[in-house]
Amino acid sequence: MKIGRGAAIVAQQFHTTELTGKNILITLGASVEAIDPVRYISNHSSGKMGMALVNNCIELGAQVTCIYAKIQTELNQRASNIQALSAKKMHKAVMENIAEQDIFISCAAVADFSPENIAKDKIKKNADDLKLILKPNPDILQDVCKLTKKPLTIGFAAETKNPLENAQIKLKNKGCDVIILNDVSGADFGLNVDENEVTFLSQNYQQKIAKTSKQKIAKKILEIFIRKFL
Ligand code: CTP
């Protein structure tokens, strides 16, 4: 049977997939903690894993809000994109947008500490030592998990030592539904590269996802998540 263009458009509008009707908030990238107007503390995250999740969630029909820090990847214009560079700004942006979300995916590499004071002017090299006082940042994922109307939550754990044990501890302590363990002890995958190898962990389920592109890892994470939680 031949379908006309009008009918095809209608069919497309009514095409539903596994995440149709779901609101998903995803954080990604490396947080940036200013020291002075020209210097900052950050980390090696590129945002590529998070962006792969944004792209795949959109393909599966979700409405995605993307809160991003420093990234080395293209934004998806079909998401609602909000930039929040520091941990504190990201915390505020997440809390302002969390109420209507069904799922929160915390992929950002958030600095645990930031300088107590940001120098107004560039710090000059006129002293032998420079002491920075760092104060703890809020834990965004943990705070989302404490909400009375908590969405389903997926966190990431970047580990270099005792990966499984540490990821299990994070799953419990943060109170999230899923932790994606990213063993970053090897130089070939994890941070700042295009491929990854992860383990999907929930309270009573564990599945390793073998080394492949971040796009394919994201697809597989969502496949398991949908099967187990939706
Ligand atoms: N996370 C967060 N806010 C923070 C720190 C981390 O939301 N201030 C989130 C990350 O987005 C990730 C998870 O918590 O989903 C775990 O982050 P990770 O850096 O692996 O662990 P930490 O909680 O920082 O603990 P540690 O540094 O001791 O491993």
**Boundaries of domain holding 145:** 18-112+130-229
Tell me the pLDDT tens digit for each residue of 175-205: 999 999 998 887 565 566 778 899 999 999 9
Residue 1 included in any domain:
no
Q: Domain with 74 in it: what CATH number?
A: 3.40.50.10300
Atom in ligand 1 nearest the alpha carbon of residue 158: 20
Atom of ligand 1 nearest to the CA of 142: 7
- Quick check: CB of 158 below 6 Å from ligand 1? yes
Residue 12 domain-assigned (yes or no) = no
Number of domains the chain is built from: 1
The alpha carbon of 171 and the centre of ligand 1 are apart by a number of angstroms equal to 11
Region label for 225, one of left (φ > 0), alpha (ψ between -120 and 50) or beta (otherwise): alpha
Q: For residue 122, is it within any domain? A: no
Query: How do residues 9-56 score in pLDDT, each as one tens digit?
Result: 555 566 789 999 999 999 999 999 999 999 999 999 999 999 999 999
User: How many whole angstroms separate alpha carbon 89 and alpha carbon 40?
Assistant: 15
Task: Tell me, using a 6 A CB cutoff, whether residue 139 lines ligand 1.
Answer: yes
The H-or-E segment that residue 172 falls in is helix 163-174
On whether residue 13 sits in a domain, the answer given is no
Catalytic residue (one of 23, 43, 182, 204): 43
Least confident of 2-6, 67-71, 166-170, 186-190: 2-6
Residue 107 lies in a domain: yes
Do 170 and 121 meet the contact criterion of CB atoms below 8 Å apart?
Answer: no
* Residue 121, domain member (yes or no): no
Classify residue 159: in a domain, yes or no: yes
Cβ of 141 less than 6 Å from ligand 1: yes
Whether 56 is catalytic is: no
The pTM assigned to this predicted structure is 0.93
